[in-house]
Structure 1
Amino acid sequence: MSAEDVLAAQGGEYAALVRWWARMRATNPVSYDPELGNWHVFRYADATRIIGDHETFSSDLRSSVRQPEQFAIVARGAFNGFDPPEHTKLRGLVRGALTPRLIAGLAPRIAEIADELLDALAGRDRIELVADLAYPLPLIVIAELLDIPLADRHRFRAWADALFFQGRGDEPVIVATEEMLLSVEPLIGEMNAYFLEHIRYRRGHPGHDLISKLVAVEENGFRLSDEEVLGVCGFLLVAGHITTTLVLGNAVHLLATRPEIAARLRADPGLVPDAVEEVLRFRGQLPATPRRTTREVTVGGARIPAGEVVLVWLASANRDERQFAAADRFDLRRTPNRHLGFGRGIHFCIGSSLARLEQHIALRAVLRRWPEFAVADGAVAEDARKAIGFRTLPLTVSWADRPLTAPRK
């Protein structure tokens, strides 16, 4: 049974999307949806053109719906939803704090956290991957990076869900309505108050944490305001936590349903980075990203007026047969692998190096500790129209005779 068959047996949302993407790529690659009032784009070439052209296809959708007060506050630093020059200024400041050196220096601690989480599970023949590993690992990393109490982590998931899903529930809308935003506004207000307290404290009592770096960083005379730092914290909570959790769950699920690939990775751990890139292509966490046209434009032969919302199906583009040979096959040695799992252009995910580092370390730890693992009954998938991954992923596992720890450099 393929991975798609497994997911189909659990409800079929993701499997149905995969079939729909293939049909639309072949017959109607750029199409208007009168029910939702937006355009859909499915092919790789069109997707890369759109997300690489911020002048014609804007990422700023703030004018699409009136934002409640607390959403408007955190949105002041949500630079991934801005266009230049505002985007350029904020992203440059964040990049000045979240440096490659800082991220690379986290590797020993990430490995230690992964080992500690697995040690706590040792000997159990059934685990729940999301709650036991995929959720706490990136959460602990983010909490330590921001120097906020780990004891508060039970609050973070509700905040991250509120930011990511924005109260959409089961509604297949692209831009959340004001009513949807209001439904989670209390959670956003709680998150804002929490982080603003930490941010203001760090302005007067700087440390070595990322919040201290964000409030101190300066570029061309600009500094981040408290609300802009808050927006970055919210971004990290979502991008560094929810998305990493989803990708790690997808990676383990794919390996559990393809034990021959897991065996190859155990024999040659140097292939783990290639496996992570293929997971990001084959089943990345973000199904689609919206843009708004700033002028009339023709895409794939379709004329799209100015002011229209265009939904770019990144997950469909990553399975486009015109770009990837045997696109529906998980290929450990796929090269080149220019997937769109982290986007493209000026909005390429600023936290991608941290996400990749966490995936590499966690997968190596899992493969060392578990000679065999399989998907058990009871897995619950996310709504694949909004996020691709699992909310719960029970596994049956066997353990190595003696714990194997990663070599420390």
Structure 2
Amino acid sequence: MYLQLTPKELTFRDEVRAFLSSSVPRDISQKLLNDRQLLKDDIVRWQRILNAKGWAVPHWPVEWGGTNWTAVERYIFREEMQAFPAPPPLDFAADMIGPVLIAHGSDEQKRKFLPRIANLDDWWCQGFSEPGAGSDLAALKTAARLDGNEYVLNGQKIWTTMAHYADWMFCLVRTTRGEKKQNGISLLLVDMKSKGITVRPIITMEGDHEVNEVFFDDVRVPAAQLVGAQDRGWDYAKFLLRNERATIARVGVSKARIRRIKELAASEYRMGQPIIEDRRFREKLAAVEVELKALEMTQLRLVAGEEDEGRTGASDATASLLKIKGAEIQQATTELLMELAGYFAVPFVDEERRELAGDGWNGPFVTPEWAARAAPTYFHWRKMSIYGGSDEIQRNVLARGLFGGQGG
């Protein structure tokens, strides 16, 4: 097995780079460079450009809009988009519920939803976490009772990302109570315009509105919107979460951020010299780059294994490994940005900061946009150790994979 791209793969990479250079709206890439939150319109606009090219869902079967690319080509495409940077297709739709519907959905569900997911005609959100049921997802209490040809849904979800934008939710609900809590869970597709749904915003510590509480009060959901079989939702959830965790590594995102850190460190001065010349800063930056290269090689080995052995997707243990290390590296890059920003990370003008600036400064005190976003980005990405299953849970999954359930 060789971890070197073939001439054909290099040609493909050049094609992807040329497309991104000519097609990504500049305002969108600039927002990503400055760690600003994208609006719904930004993501929809870009995904429709991708879909027009036929590249919105390259990992899907060709009959539903896939490209028939190899595993390596799909990896190259994802990494090049992250590194450019360009936003990926909406992951809740393209990477999560889409593959679940392809594998387990009814023919009617596939015909109705898959083309709309590819073109982002519908915005999807994920109804999994609840108060008291986050990493221990099987403890969920939101219940659905079958009444004729409808389920009646009652309960609450929390930390629901972009629910305020959503047209649809894929929602884990309890349909049967048994001795084992993983049993009796089902997966429903819920129209967010249904009567009885209330969405309340949660403003996170960096000041952004990304997550929400969602309440269900006697919400009626057609039985035809049950995915697969009743009480089999836990199996579908594991399939979905494995895909989510495997994509959290985001090697390309970290590459782009490190490139940005180097540019800023070369142009920003401290104690009369560029920050990049500070030995301690360079050591920290180099340590993150080494970790990132190791993660990249791990991911490439997995991709090469898919190609050689015909496997599809990562195992539970592998997905957990990628999730843990990818999150750690992305958090480390935000720490480096915070160190670069220094007192500029506090986006206010006051006499104390003028005094800190020193050198007789008496002009306007303007915080660069990248520095003003350093602290919010740092705080925002603390969540990576928690969502998609906390790192503690992932280490348990990894231990079971390594020791066959004997170690921990």
TM-score tier (shorter) = under 0.3
TM-score normalised per structure 2: 0.27
Give 1 or 2 for the bigger CA radius of gyration. Answer: 2
